[in-house]
Structure 1
Amino acid sequence: MTDEYAAQVLGRPVPKDRVDALLETVPARDRETRPEALARAERQRRRWATQVVVIDELARRACAQRGPLRGAGNCATSHDGAAPEKRPITALPAERDVADLGSIVAVALAHSPAARALLDELEREQQIPEEAVYDYYDRNRDRFLTPAELTRGADPFHETSDLLPYAQVREGIIVELRRAAGRRAFFDWLDRARADVVYAPGYEHPGDPSHPDHEHRH
């Protein structure tokens, strides 16, 4: 019954108490005082939290299908009924900038070991061709000026400007391109996986135009 679950993933219910548990860990960012505005903000916050919990559930299933992942710990099991991990947003790995991932995915990564493990695995799987690495180096010369050239304000695209040697920056470029490709793979996976999710009334995506107060705020 829809009184008991927020969503169904492949016919399996995701309990509403998992959404409630997440809402307790993420403070409201709206400061509305009017009752109708506060009620709307809370409805949207519940829908937003449902998306985070659903990503956690989908990632757990993906982990289970793939088997143990490096760094996944015990996230490859389903943890039936458990809420996403309670940890602050600032607990994300320092080397990963998640600001461009959108609030839903960023919070899912902060709270879900399975989502983090899946993203890490997808990044590791990406094969970056050498020509793509050199093309990035050649097209982004402004990022590879030598310190002396930066100091004098050189034009990075002038043929006489000195760049850091390709061999010196190659590994860093590979890491950056692999991370970007891994994120694209993660979003592609998520788009496909979400197709099998059915939401209970009041728990739809906050940007779903089928409910009257939808918004697409990331």
Structure 2
Amino acid sequence: MREEDAAKVQGRPVPKGRVDALLEAVPARDRESQPEAFARAERQRRRWATQVVVIDELARQACEIRELLNSAPPSAFRGAGNCATSPHAAAPDEQPTPQAVADLGSIVAVALAHSPAARTLLEQLEQEQLIPEEAVYDYYDRNRDRFLTPAALTRGADPFHETSDLLPYEQVREAIIAELRRAAGRRAFFGWLDQARAGVVYAHGYEHPGDPSHPDHEHRH
């Protein structure tokens, strides 16, 4: 591995400069802490940022394989891996905040907030999910409290006894499909990521923050 590289992703070098660019985009907190504590936090922040950049690079390569990637090379992290041919790729002013995807865990959430390639891959995986009609109706039947009519909500109706208090299945079916497809797409994204990470080699000091081989590891997502 070259000295200027933070990692190798499927044999492709990831320069340290891409990690530095993300660190500049996501400023450090607690700068007023003790020097030793701050130094430790910065080491972990660098490893954390490396994971985000690695996800971006893995997603770029996945987009290339799926022929979703445009021809422009990455010049900075935010623009790296822009799968611009996807009709669902977010424009720069439409990028989700980490809070909007916080349930995915901090590393993946920030990757999706900063990486167009990761967002496009996730959206593509969502579109590929086939949701059986039985699963859609089962969700409707098991979550009746979510489909009460406004009038039923007002009077505090019991959704599991009076079916007339429910919005018609046909009216909410598409929304349920979208929700189930979104959840299935996220599971597919995590499955893809777990497999794809197996081909990553890290430079010293850029390992996963939870890697037990370094002394100040911590495993948070």
Q: After TM superposition, is the score higher than 0.5?
A: yes
What corresponds to 1:215 in structure 2? 218
What corresponds to 2:20 in structure 1? 20
Taking the aligned partners of 2:15 and 2:190, their CA distance within structure 1 comes to 24
> Which segments of 5 or more consecutive residues in structure 2 lack a partner in the other structure?
80-89
Q: State the secondary structure of the residue aligned to 2:13.
A: strand
What corresponds to 1:125 in structure 2? 128
Q: State the secondary structure of the residue aligned to 1:14.
A: strand
What corresponds to 1:196 in structure 2? 199
Q: Deviation at 1:216? A: 1.9
What corresponds to 2:63 in structure 1? 63
Task: Give the counterpart letter for 1:83 in structure 2.
Answer: A
Q: Deviation at 1:92? A: 2.9
Task: Give the counterpart letter for 1:124 in structure 2.
Answer: Q
Q: State the secondary structure of the residue aligned to 1:7.
A: strand
Taking the aligned partners of 1:18 and 1:175, their CA distance within structure 2 comes to 34
Q: State the secondary structure of the residue aligned to 1:98.
A: helix
What corresponds to 2:169 in structure 1? 166
Q: State the secondary structure of the residue aligned to 1:195.
A: helix
Q: State the secondary structure of the residue aligned to 1:148.
A: helix
Inter-CA distance 148–13: structure 2 relative to 1 (3 Å threshold): same
What corresponds to 2:76 in structure 1? 83
Give the CA RMSD over aligned residues.
Answer: 2.3
Q: Deviation at 1:114? A: 0.8
| Greater alpha carbon shift after TM alignment, 125-134 vs 157-166 | 157-166
Cα deviation code 1:98-153 (max 9, x no counterpart): 12011111111111111111111111111100000000000111100111111112
Q: State the secondary structure of the residue aligned to 2:148.
A: coil
Inter-CA distance 122–56: structure 2 relative to 1 (3 Å threshold): same
Task: Give the counterpart letter for 2:143 in structure 1.
Answer: N
Taking the aligned partners of 2:116 and 2:101, their CA distance within structure 1 comes to 15
Given that 1:126 and 1:182 are in contact with CA atoms closer than 8 Å, whether structure 2 keeps it comes out as yes
Taking the aligned partners of 2:93 and 2:214, their CA distance within structure 1 comes to 32
Task: Give the counterpart letter for 1:178 in structure 2.
Answer: R
* 2:103 pairs with 1:110: no
Given that 2:96 and 2:112 are in contact with CA atoms closer than 8 Å, whether structure 1 keeps it comes out as no
Given that 1:19 and 1:83 are in contact with CA atoms closer than 8 Å, whether structure 2 keeps it comes out as no
Taking the aligned partners of 1:79 and 1:186, their CA distance within structure 2 comes to 24
> Which segments of 5 or more consecutive residues in structure 1 lack a partner in the other structure?
none
Q: Deviation at 1:210? A: 1.8
Task: Give the counterpart letter for 1:79 in structure 2.
Answer: P
TM-score normalised according to structure 1 size: 0.88
| Greater alpha carbon shift after TM alignment, 28-37 vs 139-148 | 28-37
